[in-house]
Chain A
Amino acid sequence: MLELILQALYSGLLAGGYYAMIALGLALVFGTMRIINLAHGELVLLAAYVAFEMERSFGWTPLASIPVALVVVGLTALVIYLLIGRIRQDRELNSLILTFGIAIVLTNLILMIWSADIRSTSNSWFMDGVVLGDTLFSMRGEVIFCVIGVLLLAATYWWLNHTWQGRALRAVASNRDAAKLMGVNPARIEALSFLVSGVLATFAGVAVYTASVVFPAVGHNLTIKAFVITVLAGMGSVPGVLLGAVLIGVGETLTTTLAKPSLQELTGMVIFLLILFLRPSGLFGRKGMVKK
């Protein structure tokens, strides 16, 4: 039994690193613009399909396709940003509809271009087992992308706290008008946050393609998972995203091990609601979800 629980914890931790990568881009845009990008999962998926196309057409390893995916997904993210910029009224609500529309367009484009077949890397190097102390098992791809995920989180955290742009971004997040007075161009900063969100989505997408399986309908599931983690984290908090992601990851694997695998989504949702009700500002939120 102990062996089972240890493995569950280990799998959950690895999943956490990878979930965090999916969620961080959404959390960042939500933090700066109060916009929930319902097409975020589709951006992740788009990166996964770029990796697939590169592997199918040129035999590239998924890691090598990251630069190409960066360009494609980054540009798509910018287009989404520009479209959101056209919204004149009630941005919080209307952006939902707009990004929902974009999500539909992206899903259907992916379906038309790459069909509904399931795709995943055929590069077996990523699937080789990595065994720690004879009891903890994982695939090499999972470990690699968990590490990349944590590094990206650390880099984003550092960027937000130690660079001018990062600070400007946080300034826009906390008070758009005040930031403007301080000489920050909010539009440019918001575009930047979308671009960074696209970068994070790219890595997440390649990770999904490598460690898991993709098909057009997956985008929606990814968006929901990213949502849940974003809210758990509290307003745009980077450490919160990591902790929230690990909590969900470990919660899911422990449910599988101790109870029934089919209840793992329930566990995620219950954790989500509990945190929402008990700590309404999220794990790391300063202020936020409850009405003043």
Chain B
Amino acid sequence: MMKRFTSAVLSKRRALLACCAVGAVMMASPAMAAEFVLGSELPLTGKLARVGTGMSEGIAIAIDLANAKYAGQHHFSVQTIDDETNPAKAVAAVEKLASDHVVAITGGYGSNIIGPASEAAAKAGLVYMTSGGVAPELTQRGLDSFFRINNADGYGKAMVGLIETMGAKSVAILYSNKEATAAMATYVQKALTDKGIKITSHEFDDTTTDFKPIMNKVKLQDRPEVVAMIGYENDYIGILRAGAVLKPDVKAMVGVWSLATAQMNKEFHDQVQGVYGTSPLPYPVVFKGGEAQDFAAAYMNKYNREPDYLQQFGYVQTMLLIDAIARAHDNDGKIEAGEIARELRATTTPTMIGDVTFDKNGDNPNFTHRMGQHQGDRVELVWPANAATAKMNYPAVPW
């Protein structure tokens, strides 16, 4: 305890980034082994509480597995601060973590909160790693300490790719007028129009609970082959229930995030049958890769349910960060300013969500999402072909 206190006081006089690393390193024994405290700024309350909690569980698993992986060499822990879904509090949280000398930051949800929070991290010289913000603007700011493993393009490409594979000629897009969903809808609309597919679109508000009037327009006026839903769980359930009542003559219901998940399969089983959504892993996890299975087992063990994409992304982003920290430390026993960022950029790492590389803006150009489909008690990957675990059921709707 005493030692940690001293190191913190001493390091105050040094350059901020150096102190973060040194402060952490000095706590450890003089040998190569080191103790690293990661910082995490996440929404655990407020509007984004659900997704933030999901990511934080993934981070916890990454810490556990990293401690097993680096046992005897390094020890990792995480200090988490709830940003209450509020940008000002997110900035303060990052600054608090910086003053507590964390080695880097993993977390963040919502592009609009990640924006200011990652700028605060950059000012403090800390790497900010996330999977919670997909807005293109985030990686156009020229921050060299900002990294994310996923982006809007990856989600959009998967959705568009699947619809193309289906060979649909007309699509109705239903989207929520929130930041991420509106941006995604614009992307999908443009991409599908470019491919000569006929598009109609309906923007709805997040307070909408009855989707029948919208669905009725789709059924009677648009008459599309595919309905693309871009929203969140409550929207999907509302739309699918409206569909089940009105039974429009469509061939597929395709969504994005938060839909092709284990939890949706369990809790809304009948309502999601045949429905598609982005999904990094199938459910139950049947990957050959050892890491995905280890992760799923550790998660089941700790939380007693199946992990979803939120936990998977949270895990992957944190593991990448931890490996980079370990590499940065191990080559010379200390971490210099910008070294973690350099390590992250220098390496291509195979992960559960595919190979991850970072470009100069911190984006992962390799990121393409996979599309899953609810098939009975399972979520099967059906797109792209090389990741598929089952044949796509098409046409298929829940009703």
Decide if A and B touch, CB cutoff 8 A: yes
Chain B contacts of A252 at CB under 8 A?
A: 210
Contact with A along B248-289 (1 / 0, CB 8 A): 000000000000000100011111000000000000000000
Residues of chain B contacted by A80 (CB below 8 angstroms): none
Minimum CB distance partner of B48 in chain A: A116
Is A156 part of the binding interface, using a Cβ–Cβ cutoff of 8 Å?
Answer: no
For A118, the chain B residues whose CB sits under 8 A away are 50, 233-234, 237
**With an 8 A cutoff between CB atoms, is B350 at the interface?**
no
Segment at the A interface, from B58-66, B215-223, B323-331: B215-223
- Residues on the A chain within 8 Å of B89, using CB: none
**Cβ of A264 and Cβ of B208 under 8 Å apart?**
yes
Contact with B along A180-194 (1 / 0, CB 8 A): 000000000000000
Q: Does B214 contact A (CB under 8 A)?
A: yes
Chain A residues whose C-beta falls within 8 Å of the C-beta of B46 in the assembled complex: 217
A122 near B246 with CB under 8 A, answer: no
Residue of B212, B213, B245, B246 contacting most chain A CB atoms (<10 Å): B213
| CB-defined contacts of A124 to chain B, threshold 8 Å | 270
Whether A139 and B241, one on each chain, are in contact in the complex, defined by CB atoms closer than 8 angstroms, is: yes
A63 at interface (Cβ–Cβ under 8 A)?
Answer: no
Within the complex, what minimum Cβ distance (angstroms) separates A73 from chain B? 21
Report which residue of A108, A115, A120, A261 has the largest number of chain B beta carbons within 10 angstroms of its beta carbon: A261
- What's the Cα separation between A119 and B237 when bound, in Å? 10
Residues in A with CB closer than 8 Å to B246 are 129, 137
B-facing mask of A4-25, CB < 8 A → 1, else 0?
A: 1001100100010000000000
Q: How far is the CA of A11 from the CA of B216 in the complex (A)?
A: 11
Counting CB contacts under 8 A, is B99 at the interface?
A: no
The answer to the question of B365 belonging to the interface, with a C-beta cut-off of 8 Å to chain A, is no
A213 to B246, CA, bound (A): 19
Say how far A119's CB is from chain B's closest CB, in angstroms: 8
User: Which residues of chain A from 107 to 146 have any CB-CB distance to chain B below 8 Å in the complex?
Assistant: 108, 111, 115-120, 122, 124, 127, 129, 137-139
| Complex-state Cα separation, A140 to B216, whole angstroms | 17
User: How far apart are the CA atoms of A146 and B51 in the complex, in Å?
Assistant: 33
Interface flag for A221 (CB, 8 Å): yes
B122-130, B157-165, B198-206 - interface stretch: B198-206
Whether B263 pairs with A117 at a CB distance below 8 angstroms is: yes
Chain A residues touching B, majority SS? helix
User: Considering the chains assembled together, what is the distance between the CA atoms of A149 and B118 in angstroms?
Assistant: 49
Check A213–B209 contact: CB distance below 8 A.
Answer: yes
Q: How far is the CB of A144 from chain B (nearest CB, A)?
A: 14
Q: Which of A4, A111, A139 contacts B245 (CB 8 A)?
A: A139
- Verify A261–B203 contact, CB threshold 8 A: yes
B183 interface residue, CB < 8 Å from A?
A: no
The answer to whether B238 and A212 have CB atoms under 8 Å apart is yes
With a CB–CB cut-off of 8 A, which chain B residues contact A213?
Answer: 209, 233-234, 237-238
Query: Which A residues touch B209, using CB under 8 A?
Result: 211-213
Report the Cα distance A115→B244, complex, angstroms. 28
Which residues on the A side are within 8 Å of B271 (C-beta)? 127
Cα A163 to Cα B342 in complex, Å, equals 78
Given contacts A120-B268, A215-B50, contact A261 B205 (CB under 8 A): yes
Q: Which of B204, B207, B213, B241 contacts A253 (CB 8 A)?
A: B213
Chain A CB within 8 A of B53 CB: yes
A127 CA to B315 CA in the complex, in Å? 37
Which residues of A sit under 8 angstroms from B220, Cβ to Cβ? 3-4
**CB pair B268 A122 closer than 8 Å:** yes
CB proximity to B under 8 Å, residues A228-260:
252-253, 256-257, 260
B49 to A: closest C-beta gap in Å = 4
Which residue of B has the minimal Cβ distance to A208?
B209
Which A residues have a C-beta under 8 Å from some C-beta of B?
3-4, 7-8, 11, 15, 108, 111, 115-120, 122, 124, 127, 129, 137-139, 211-213, 215-217, 221, 252-253, 256-257, 260-265
Q: Can you report 19 residue pairs joining A to B where beta carbons are below 8 Å apart?
A: A7-B212, A11-B213, A15-B210, A115-B53, A116-B50, A117-B50, A118-B233, A118-B234, A129-B244, A129-B247, A137-B246, A212-B209, A221-B207, A253-B213, A260-B203, A261-B205, A262-B177, A263-B205, A264-B205
